Amino acid sequence: MARRYGDVFQLRLGRRRVVVLNGEGAIRRALVGQGARFAGRPDFPSFGLVSGGRSVAFGQPTARWRARRRLAHACLLSCSTADARGRQAVERHVAGEAQDLVRLFLRLSRGGAYFEPCPLFVVANANVICALCFGRRYSHSDGEFLALLGRNDRFGQTVGAGSLVDVLPWLQHFPNPVRSVFRDFQALNQELHGFVCEKVAQHRRTFTPGVIRDVSDAVIAAAEHSDRPPSGLGPDDVEGAMTDIFGAGQDTTSTALSWILLLLLKHPQLQCDLQAELDRVVGRTRLPTAEDRPSLPHLEAFIYETLRYSSFVPITIPHATTADVELDGFHIPKDTVVFINQWSVNHDCRKWHDPQRFDPSRFLDAQQHLDRDRACSVMIFSAGQRRCIGDQLSKLQIFLFTAILLHQCSFHANPAEHLTMDCIHGLALKPMPFTVTVKQRHPSLTDP
């Protein structure tokens, strides 16, 4: 549609007028050039149900929301990627989960059996976020934790662009499938928020001033025990911020891992090349660490190409204009819903040579170093005032999980299946279910 109607066009979804922004230029002119005016969220009923109505991701940009977002961002960074201590904590949690995955993979592959890997990524990744946020992890067979995580897909299907729940509000007045989705959404948000509130309450009871165990403690310390607490924030902002960090952080990164594995299976020669790079740089006597990152440009290039090619968050969470605004000669009234088409940036043939081709080498320069500027121009975390606050953490997690799993195992596709880029739609695009079998590469490092 952008090719036909231009980078800024309008469509109607139910009762709502929606402006769609395409291409890097128009998106940056809006989100960065006129950031505050494009930083709103639509007044959709479903958005008010997230994180007890105190969401960072789904909240309107009021002064209180800005303070909540700053609090969440600063505390997440301070416990993860801001300094060496945080990065080591992330590394410790990911290494533990990745080794647990290797053991599970090998058990499930006994006798050459095939199994579905993606649900296991969800648990492993949620455990990393859970450990960072609440200082604990859960077993892959914990029924309650699995049930909580199993609701992710339904969440994404309700809040993703094109969901009918919010644009056809009259569907709420009589029984129909869309109303069921909405009621289900209400219940799953209450459940997730309840889980987080209980964890935060435990942290408040055991809080010791001066001792920060995890992100919950950092948020409680800043909001409730500081000499200069952020003005206007209450206990429900602490719980809202924590629900957002836990909710947003556990599903997205595991989706990235699913696409990485699918593309490794589709490109077995690239898998071998990456393993050769890992063996050369890391050797066979230790696991890859974050410090190896600059020495593994092919692996980094593979990851960025997966983010670009899959563009698995094709459209951000819907935005809304906070005032009347002019963009590229168009007048857009206040409160217009705005979709940001990230996919169009990553598949723009003005920006990428042969964008429909999966080719990690596009991110390497003549010396085979990672081209950082090019890598950073992949748009998957959005831009401007609503840019994802978990970008650094998720990139580190994706790198560590991929490096450790590839170093330890080789992954083999099921010849009875056709590997496709077709996907399940929601806020994030997920691969169709597929199976693999796994072989161990380094017997010395993994206890089967």
**Binding-site residue ranges for heme:** 388
316 sits near ligand HEM (criterion: CB under 6 A): yes
Spatial distance between the Cα atoms of 320 and 327, rounded to a whole number of angstroms: 14
| Closer residue to ligand HEM in complex, CB, 182/399 | 399
DSSP string, 4-59: HH-SEEEEEETTEEEEEEESHHHHHHHHTTTGGGG-B----GGGGGGGGG--SSSS
Helix (H) or strand (E) holding 251, with range, is: helix 235-266
Residue 245 or 296 having the CB closest to ligand HEM? 245
* In the complex, least distance from residue 241 CB atom to ligand HEM, rounded to whole angstroms: 8
* From candidates 382, 402, 408, 437, binder to ligand HEM by CB under 6 A: 382
Residue carrying the six token digits 């492993």: 124
Q: Name residues contacting ligand HEM, limited to 256-295 (CB under 6 A).
A: 256
Determine the 3-state secondary structure of 327 from DSSP. Answer: strand
Judged by CB under 6 A, the residue of 249, 288, 314, 426 near ligand HEM is 249
| Sign of the alpha-carbon dihedral angle for 162, 163, 165, 171 | positive
What sign for the dihedral angle of Cα 378, 379, 385, 389? negative
| Contacting residue, 57, 260, 261, 436, with ligand HEM by CB under 6 A | 57
Q: Does 216 bind ligand HEM (CB under 6 A)?
A: no
Q: Among 370, 380, 403, 409, which residue sits at the site for ligand HEM (rule: CB under 6 A)?
A: 380
- List CB contacts of 139: < 8 A, sequence separation 6 or more: 145
By C-beta, is 160 or 297 nearer to ligand HEM? 160
Q: Which of 19, 393, 429, 436 binds ligand HEM (CB under 6 A)?
A: 393
CA distance 446 to 234: 47
CB of 389 to ligand HEM, least distance (A): 5
CA atoms within 13 A on the CB side of 373: 2
Among 30, 71, 76, 238, binds ligand HEM (CB under 6 A): 76
The yes or no reply on residue 389 touching ligand HEM (CB under 6 A) is: yes
Question: In this structure, are residues 82 and 108 in contact, taking their beta carbons and an 8 Å threshold?
Answer: no
Counting contacts by CB under 6 A, is residue 394 touching ligand HEM? yes
Options 271-279, 281-289, 350-358, 384-392: segment touching ligand HEM (CB under 6 A)? 384-392
Beta carbon of residue 112, minimum distance to ligand HEM (angstroms, whole number):
32
CB 379, min distance to ligand HEM, A: 9
Q: What are phi and psi of 337, to 5 degrees?
A: -75, 135
Residue nearest to ligand HEM (CB): 390
Category of 214 on φ-ψ map: left (φ > 0), alpha (ψ -120 to 50) or beta: beta
Q: How far is CA 43 from CA 160, 182, 217, 315, 322, in A?
A: 14, 15, 32, 18, 11
Which of 304, 381, 399, 401 touches ligand HEM by CB under 6 A? 381
- In this structure, are residues 446 and 412 in contact, taking their beta carbons and an 8 Å threshold? no
- Site residues (CB under 6 A) for ligand HEM, limited to 218-247: 244-245
Between 102 and 396, name the residue whose CB sits nearer to ligand HEM: 396
Sign of CA dihedral 251, 255, 261, 264: negative
Q: Dihedral sign, CA of 53, 54, 57, 60?
A: positive
How many residues make contact with ligand HEM (CB under 6 A)? 24
Nearer to ligand HEM by Cβ, of 123 and 313: the residue is 313
User: Is residue 90 a contact residue for ligand HEM (CB under 6 A)?
Assistant: no
Of the two residues 106 and 340, which places its CB atom closer to ligand HEM in the complex?
A: 340
Q: Which C-beta is closer to ligand HEM: that of 271 or that of 316?
A: 316
Contact 114, 433 (CB under 8 A): no
Helices (H), 312-390: 342-346, 372-376
Annotated binding site: 388
- Nearest CB to ligand HEM, comparing residues 114 and 134: 134
Which residue carries 């069921």 as its tokens? Answer: 180
Which CB atom, from 56 or from 188, has the smaller least distance to ligand HEM?
Answer: 56
**Both ends of the chain: CA-CA distance in Å?**
52
Distances (CA, A) of 72 to 20, 23, 417: 29, 30, 42
**Cβ 47 to ligand HEM, closest distance in Å?**
10
Q: By CB under 6 A, name the one of 26, 27, 50, 56 that touches ligand HEM.
A: 56
- Which of these ranges, 103-111, 150-158, 285-293, 376-384, lies near ligand HEM under the rule CB under 6 A? 376-384
In the bound state with ligand HEM, the residue whose beta carbon lies nearer, of 71 and 106, is 71
- Contact residues toward ligand HEM (CB under 6 A) are 56-57, 69, 76, 244-245, 248-249, 252-253, 256, 313, 316-317, 340, 380-382, 386, 388-390, 393-394
